[in-house]
């Protein structure tokens, strides 16, 4: 599955094909079919693993941080520093209308946004403001990785990723409510 995940991150869902994947792994097509009935089953398995990692696992990794300001800041830094997952997410976003991708991407996005809303509300923001801030944070994340996919030189020009994320976090996660 890792090979398929990496392939999707690099070339998109449409690039997943049994024969080249089996060849790249040095296995026969028959060996592939021992594990997966077909290409769609492999894609579903990759999406399910990603969704688990980005859903329940994110909540377990960061949900235990009691201070919502710290939780959001840590999550923002972790999200931007996880380039591999960001690239995978951007590749899925390109294929967002694919019937295999659309529901998984939607569920993961809804969970991510809800996690942000919950943290912003825990900081004292009203629901509307919490939703807007969560959406801004997620849009910054999605945009960054989409640009990394389509205009890598522009993104690589940001040589201080920590400073970039710190400015984003400072704008969205104030030290105190006004």
| Percent of the chain's residues with pLDDT above 70 | 98
Please provide the average confidence, as pLDDT, over all residues in the chain: 90
| Residue 79 pLDDT greater than 90, yes or no | yes
| Residue 157 pLDDT greater than 90, yes or no | no
Task: Find which of 31-40, 63-72, 135-144 is predicted with most confidence, using mean pLDDT.
Answer: 135-144
| Residue 80 pLDDT greater than 60, yes or no | yes
Ordered by start, the domain boundaries in the chain are 2-172
pLDDT of residue 65: 92
pLDDT bin (cut points 50, 70, 90) of residue 176 is low
Q: What is the pLDDT of residues 128-153, one digit of tens each?
A: 999 999 999 999 999 999 999 999 99
HSE-up of residue 100 (Cα within 13 Å, Cβ side): 16
CATH number for the domain running over 2-172: 1.10.357.10
pLDDT of residue 174: 81
pLDDT of residue 26: 83
Mean pLDDT (whole number) for 39-62: 87
| Residue 177 pLDDT greater than 60, yes or no | no
pLDDT of residue 43: 94
Cα–Cα distance between 154 and 61 in angstroms, integer? 31
The H-assigned helical ranges of 82-100 are 83-94
pLDDT of residue 117: 96
SS3 labels along 28-61: CHHHHHHHCCCHHHHHHHHHHHHHHHHCHHHHHH
CB atoms under 10 Å from CB of 101, counted, come to 21
């Amino acid at each position: 599955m890792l090979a398929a995940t990496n392939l999707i991150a690099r070339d998109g869902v449409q690039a997943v094909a049994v024969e080249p994947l089996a060849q790249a792994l040095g296995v026969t097509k028959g060996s592939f079919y021992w594990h997966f009935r077909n290409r769609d089953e492999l894609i579903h398995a990759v999406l399910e693993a990603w969704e688990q990692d980005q859903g329940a696992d994110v909540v377990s990794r960061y949900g235990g941080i009691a201070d919502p300001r710290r939780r959001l800041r840590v999550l923002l830094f972790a999200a931007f520093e996880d380039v591999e997952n960001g690239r995978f997410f951007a590749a899925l976003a390109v294929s967002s209308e694919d019937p295999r991708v659309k529901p998984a991407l939607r569920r993961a996005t809804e969970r991510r946004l809800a996690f942000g809303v919950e943290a912003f509300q825990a900081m004292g923001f009203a629901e509307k403001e919490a939703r807007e801030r969560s959406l801004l944070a997620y849009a910054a994340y999605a945009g960054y990785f989409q640009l990394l996919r389509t205009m890598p030189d522009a993104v690589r020009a940001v040589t201080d990723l920590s400073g970039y994320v710190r400015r984003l976090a400072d704008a969205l996660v104030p030290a105190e409510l006004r």
